[in-house]
Amino acid sequence: MKDKKIIVTGGAGFIGSNLTRKLDSKNNDIVFDNLSTGHLENIKDLTYNNKTEFIKEGFTDFEFLKEAFRDVEAMILVFPHI
């Protein structure tokens, strides 16, 4: 997964934040979470180093997603909560 942008949905929740933390050492990741159950405190250390981008948005708005990932060439989507 080297040089891939990894997108984690629900990334501010318990499982998603730990998964993102594990992946963070190798990639520039994007965390999507609408914070309905997740917490920013769970990913504060990840966003501090600027390798992980946080987007406060659910993963159900297709038009938003198309725009957000328009310039992303290689990505992997991870749904840890499904």
| pLDDT tens digits for range 18-38 | 988 887 666 667 888 999 999
Average pLDDT of span 58-70:
76
- 5-78: CATH topology is Rossmann fold (3.40.50)
pLDDT for 35 equals: 94
How far is the C-alpha of 11 from the C-alpha of 80, rounded, in Å?
Answer: 8
CA distance 82 to 32: 14
Q: What pLDDT is recorded for position 82?
A: 53
Q: What's the confidence (pLDDT) of residue 63?
A: 81
Domain boundaries, the chain: 5-78
